[in-house]
Amino acid sequence: MTLRVLGVDPGLTRCGIGVLDAGAGRGATLVDVGVIRSSSDDAIDQRLLALSRGLREVIELHAPDVVAIERVFAQNNTPTVMGTAQVSGIAILLAAERGIPIAMHTPSEVKAAVTGNGSADKKQIQTMLVRLLGLSAPPKPADAADALAIALTQLWRGPGPVRTDASGGARTSAQAVWAQAERSARRARETSTSRF
């Protein structure tokens, strides 16, 4: 059975998304990569609405088995941290509404998983993504590459999905049925009309 992971690099201006399918061994297959944008000229509510719509569209199109999100970490730029946290919350909510487990990874965990070095720079990550996924060039912008790295981290090193129900147990039967129906519909769409 194929495991599909949606990686999300949350950002208020550019939210990176990367979708990977688990392959044999440690292999992975690229399904989709890109960014969802919001305009800095818009009010915060409209920006979050635009990002929410974009993320919802990606989730509905690809029906991931897990959503991996970069964990927000403290830095000196408070407005940037706030925007990142707000977008993370949207991704978590959209996954929870569909019964999709989530996992969160710190930037250093992602760097270590992809390059073997928790202090790697963006160029090193992009170089490894090209090599590991057999790409002709690094995904651009960097937010898109970061999202792929987050998805790859979940495939390789994920501690397992974070439970989203109050009891800490498995999905409810209704959530499991919905998720299976979503995956079946997605695979049927992919068979009939491929975007790639």
How high is the pLDDT of residue 89? 96
Distance CA 53, CA 153 (A): 25
Instruction: Sketch the domain layout of the chain as residue ranges.
Output: 4-192
Task: Give the integer Cα–Cα distance in Å for 17 and 39.
Answer: 17
pLDDT tens sequence across 101-142:
999 999 999 999 999 888 899 899 999 999 999 999 999 999
Active-site residue, from 65, 70, 146, 182: 70
Beta-sheet pairing, 28-37 with 14-22: antiparallel
143 is an active site residue: yes
Taking domain 4-192, whether its CATH number is 3.30.420.10 is answered by yes
Decide if 41 is catalytic: no
Say which of 21, 65, 109, 143 is annotated catalytic: 143
pLDDT digits (tens, 9 = 90+) for 147-156: 999 999 999 8
Instruction: Check the annotation: does 182 bind a ligand.
Output: no
143 annotated ligand binder: yes
**Tens-place pLDDT, residues 28-57:** 999 999 999 999 999 999 999 999 999 999
pTM over 0.95: no
